[in-house]
Structure 1
Amino acid sequence: MNPATLLLKRLLFAIAAILLAIAHADTYAQELNCQVTVDYSQVQGTNTSVFTTLQEAIADYINTRKWTNAQFSPNEKIECKFFLTVKKYDDPKITGDLQVQASRPVYNSSYSTTLLNFKDQKIEFDYNQGEPLIFSESTQESNLTAIINFYVYLILATDFDSFSPRGGQPYFERAANVVQMAQSSGEPGWKAFEDTKNRSAVLSAFTDPATNALRDLTYQYHRLGLDQMSVSPDKGRAKITESLQILSKIYQISPMSVGLSMFKDAKLDELVNVYTKSPQEERTQVYELLFDMYPTETKRLEMIKKGVNK
């Protein structure tokens, strides 16, 4: 084979390898489809372009990284939202709160169920416009990336838990690693027992032996409950009712657990819809289970009890 022919064959092989890699990357895409919004309407008299840059940087950081070894096709990406409200800006320090939401589709339906709906009110980090957001598992590059990493791993952990019993364990471990590194930074929102609703408390709700049955609830509620309702609404709903017994036991052990309020914020409206057409006895049972935990939610709980959704 003459050198020209050999060179051509090698070139064609290289092109084919590149095309295969591109095709493979498209087939097994990143895990998250995250919509990021930075609301700076409360900040006056400053260069707002820094917030536009920040929004783009966070979206790029989340959506272009491969966070797991699992294979996700593009239509399997986890839908999530990060909504950052900037309340104070003292260049380069940004202070505010972050609403994190995530959902997943329900089997054999067009419906998506909320997995996570949580507002973190301890957001504080430094950001210089144009600063690259650097990922590291072994060091804390910045408080901003630590916050993002924590919530990405929490989203992945709850999503995987919803499909298999405690399937999110690797991601809870990574979230725990983020918390451990961040606790020595002195930044707000990370210290154990500092706040009943900070990031350390959120992690504890899912991992402490007293309350980690919340993870079993996640699987039973979604995989054995919601996912079965297209086949048998009565059986699926019965599994959801059973899962609420787990929530009740957590309340008895740890009534101040942030996991209880996280469940309420993600699921109470959905429960109204689930039980609208269920038998009276079942509605009453669910009402009594939930009322002790959420006594201020009288309106929505009454809708469950009465079987109305208006």
Structure 2
Amino acid sequence: MNILLTGGAGYIGSHTFLSLIDAGHKPIVVDTFDNSSPQVLDRLHTLTGEKPVFHQADVRDSDRIADILTREKCDAVVHFAGRKAVGEGQSKPLLYFDQNVGGTVQLLHAMNRTGCKKLIFSSSAVVYGNPEYLPIDEEHPLSTCNVYGDTKRTVEDMLRALSASDQEWSVVLLRYFNPVGAHKSGEIGEFPRGIPNNLMPYVTQVAVGQLEKLSVFGNDFDTRDGTGVRDYIHVCDLADGHVSALKLLDEAGCTAMNLGTGKGYSVLDIITTFETVNDVRIPYQITARRPGDVAACYANPSRARSLTGWQAKLGLAEMCRDAWHWQRKNPKGFAET
């Protein structure tokens, strides 16, 4: 299949590019580089031996996206493009609704016009809000508590309505839990701009000396060691989940599917495992809880296994090992030299 990857130069998009190549598909990358680097394309070239097909374009430019879909004879779209920092979303809600919701609207217009009506959407476990029960399955009530989550839920609502109104549409909503790690080559990985919002890149930047110490937000949660528990999934497993989800696009309708391991690890689990696997010390300090943080959140991933045969294969040790290999090999990420 010819598959358009919006935001394909980003963290998850670039790893999915490699999984699609391995599965015999042809990915076409669209990106603006607002939150990624052109170096990613060079590294994908190195890893695959093929120069990626790339178009620098914004999904909000419906005419341009329609032209790319037609020119590249795209069979499906995997939609990663969007903003994803919770704090930034709270301070810049218009930016988030414009890019995450408005951008998706324009992408869908382009897909409608060109007859490319197969879509995998990069959603998030954030749409479940504060868990009412664990592990979280896809029937869990949707409830968001921040702007970023609001945009993901709004897009999900829109895609359900669209697929219900037009039987030619086939949509898969992939609800990610906590992607971490990097490709085993160390050529691509996660390097957020500014202070990281997520735990693992914060840990790796402390380990490499970019940051002095890790802040652990709260040690008084109702968990086994008092720190927050999350479902961490290796980004390569996550990427393979997108390839497996392609088979669901043969059927009309809209399907939601969790991508997680089904296991919960605490912040202290991450620190201890990272130190043990990589023989490096992570200094940290306990600070106050952040508003809205929940004690625990982890997936029931059984639907993905039953529908597609996919399940996570890599454990916490591999997540920590590959994240550190990437960071140590690229202490400044994709910074230009």
| Shorter-normalised TM range | 0.3 to 0.5
The normalised TM-score by structure 2 is: 0.31
Which structure has the greater CA radius of gyration? 1
Which structure shows the higher helix fraction?
1
Provide TM-score, normalisation by structure 1.
0.32
